Structure 1
């Protein structure tokens, strides 16, 4: 597959890095020669210097033979025009664009073949807002990922020393769960190394444990993995940008929400758009302000400004002053590993959230949803099993009979409205949605081939 990525910013670079290790022909376009030089030194890709929406630039990038155009520049207008040019002049099959401005997103009729022909619209702010809301709904969760329109969820959590399963074999989990509740541990990361879970695998303190269960069963399972409090209702948001304002609107109906915004004009505009949430003008790193607003009684503190350093410092301050859970938005990937500790509970990378959404539209083999995990080192995939037993490598087979690639596990199956946890004797049927955890990205191609339907000639 020939893919052109427009924009060598954080998301564009992350996409190029994620795909370059696989069998893709990648070309990155940007106006910054230094960025392109650094990319070429690190990755086996082509680069083109030029304006992303100019036809001549796109021709030099190979648009005439491209299967997919991904427009990820910092300009919504450039992304939109590039997709229009690719459609009108070159009939590019699939066009993906990142669009941030809420004014554009409020008019979805703009994005169709008659107007601006974008096949897949990516809104990073909307994706990140959804991600953070799920983290608030599940105390103790590091990641919450939806499959089959939310009927099943994969949740990552850290095992603490007082967790009920720490020091016990995984097979004990099934015995501890109430009747009618089932779950499967899909993967364990210990010291950043993946461990494929078996029945006799023992969970250790500080392991990151990913498990799959039906959405309604998630709280029950989490209580077995760690001591879990009820979802918090006192929320303090720092930063009134698109994410902060959108999150406040969503949460104010069921939570007590306060939002801190430094810009008085912006704060007043946000306040006019909210019903019950309180908007405060001030600095989120002001210790006196946090004290006055009861940070020690706050269930969740979210630092959501555009400044990584401000987010990190204010989060560490909030945690030290007594906030129960701290969620920090961090744009620089290098910072994420450094800050997740006792001081910051969850670091959210918009880059990784966005890349996961983009990968869904790149993977082959009837894959309908892809989530990027562990800074791109692993993926959680929802694939649909098509075909008959004679055409498919998975349909009609028990899970124990499937030739899975190394470091790959099947967590569960969604069959209609039913969520079936993947035990060894479960048989996969046509149209099942199969949730897989792939801990080694080198195995992605084999997973894609596993779910490809083969022609049968008689």
Structure 2
């Protein structure tokens, strides 16, 4: 696929890195020559120096033959105008734009074809807010990923030494679950390396375990994987920016929420939009302030400022002072794996959250959801099976008969409102939503081919 990416920032660079692994023809446009040079040294891509919304720049980038334009610059206006230019002058088939300003997002009518012809609108702040909210709802989770509009979820948790399943074979999981509850361990990461789970696979201490279950069954399954505390009630959010303010508004009805914001003017603005949440003016790394606000009795502390270092330091301080769970927003991908430890429970990368949403709209075949995992090297995919037996490589076949690429597993199937955990004798039907875990991203093309209908396939 011929793809143009506008913007070589963290998300644009990460997107280029992810897509270049799959033999796409990638061109990246930016006004920063040094940033483009560094990117070209690392990846097999083309780069073009110039303003992303100017027609001549887009022509030099190959817009006349491009199948997909992804506008990821730091300017909402540039992204919107670039999509307009691509539509009006070059009839580019698919246009994706990142838009962050809440004022624009509050008026969705702006983004139809009569105004700003954007096919896919991506809001990183909304995506990250959703992501963090899920982590708060499940106290022991490192990641919570929705499939089929939330009917099924893939949850990651760390196996601790006192976990009920540590040291046991995976096949014992089904024996420990209550009647009517089913789940499947879709993947295990051990020392950052993926392990395809088998029945005789033994979970070890510090393994990151991904399991799939119906949403209603997630709490039950998590209790079998690790000892759980009660639900989160007392929450402190450090940072009153777009993410912190939106998260406080969502949580304040059912939780006791406090927001710490350093800027008095911003704090006042956030307070006006909240009903019960308390907004405090102060430094989130102020030990005295955290002590006064009861950090030792806090269930979840979220550091959500725009400063990675401030987030990391305040999170480590909050954890040392007694916060039960600490979630830290980190923009620099290199920091994410460095800080996840006993001091910081979950590091959230806006880049990876955004890239997963973008990949959903880029994959071939009928891919309706893509989640990027573990720095983008692996993916969890929701694909829809279409066609009749004989016209599809998966419909009408038992799971054990499907020729899956290496290091790819099927975790489950969503059929209407029913969540069916994958077992070898389950038969895939037309319109089933199939959840797959792809440990090797180089196999994505083969997975896409499986879910592409071919009328002459025999």
- Normalising by structure 1, we get a TM-score of 0.99
Q: Is the partner of 2:64 in helix, strand or coil?
A: helix
- Give the aligned partner of residue 379 of structure 2: 379
- Give the aligned partner of residue 132 of structure 1: 132
CA distance in 2, matches of 1:43, 1:266: 40
User: How many Å apart are 1:229 and its aligned residue?
Assistant: 1.4
Per-residue CA deviation, residues 176-210 of structure 1 (Å, 9 max, x unaligned), is: 00000000000001011111000000000000000
Alignment of 1:96-111 (within 5 A): 96-111=96-111
CA distance in 1, matches of 2:354, 2:449: 25
- Give the aligned partner of residue 448 of structure 2: 448
- Give the aligned partner of residue 65 of structure 1: 65
Q: Is 1:417 aligned with 2:417? A: yes
Alignment of 1:296-445 (within 5 A): 296-445=296-445
Q: Is 1:192 aligned with 2:192? A: yes
5+ residue gaps in structure 1? none
User: How many Å apart are 1:360 and its aligned residue?
Assistant: 0.2
User: How many Å apart are 1:231 and its aligned residue?
Assistant: 1.7
Per-residue CA deviation, residues 397-452 of structure 1 (Å, 9 max, x unaligned), is: 11011111111100000000000000010000010000000011011011001111
CA distance in 2, matches of 1:284, 1:345: 18
User: How many Å apart are 1:230 and its aligned residue?
Assistant: 2.0
CA contact (8 A) 2:391 2:457 kept: no
- Give the aligned partner of residue 116 of structure 1: 116
CA contact (8 A) 2:392 2:457 kept: no
- Give the aligned partner of residue 231 of structure 1: 231
User: How many Å apart are 1:456 and its aligned residue?
Assistant: 2.0
Q: Is the partner of 1:435 in helix, strand or coil?
A: strand
Per-residue CA deviation, residues 318-342 of structure 1 (Å, 9 max, x unaligned), is: 0000000000000000000110000
- Give the aligned partner of residue 258 of structure 1: 258
Q: Is 1:204 aligned with 2:204? A: yes
CA distance in 1, matches of 2:183, 2:426: 14
CA distance in 2, matches of 1:98, 1:277: 30
Q: Is 1:155 aligned with 2:148? A: no
- Give the aligned partner of residue 274 of structure 1: 274
5+ residue gaps in structure 2? none
CA distance in 1, matches of 2:45, 2:455: 33
- Give the aligned partner of residue 26 of structure 2: 26
CA distance in 2, matches of 1:439, 1:22: 14
Q: Is the partner of 1:162 in helix, strand or coil?
A: coil
CA contact (8 A) 2:145 2:153 kept: yes
Q: How many residues are treated as equivalent by the alignment? A: 458
Per-residue CA deviation, residues 35-73 of structure 1 (Å, 9 max, x unaligned), is: 000111000000000000000000000000000000000
Over the aligned positions, Cα root-mean-square deviation in angstroms equals 0.8
User: How many Å apart are 1:455 and its aligned residue?
Assistant: 1.9
- Give the aligned partner of residue 292 of structure 2: 292
Q: Is the partner of 1:63 in helix, strand or coil?
A: coil
- Aligned in 2, Cα 1:434/1:457: closer, same or farther, shift over 3 Å? closer
- Give the aligned partner of residue 84 of structure 2: 84
- Give the aligned partner of residue 245 of structure 1: 245
Q: Is 1:182 aligned with 2:172? A: no
- Give the aligned partner of residue 215 of structure 2: 215
Q: Is the partner of 2:142 in helix, strand or coil?
A: strand
Q: Is the partner of 1:365 in helix, strand or coil?
A: coil
User: How many Å apart are 1:228 and its aligned residue?
Assistant: 1.0
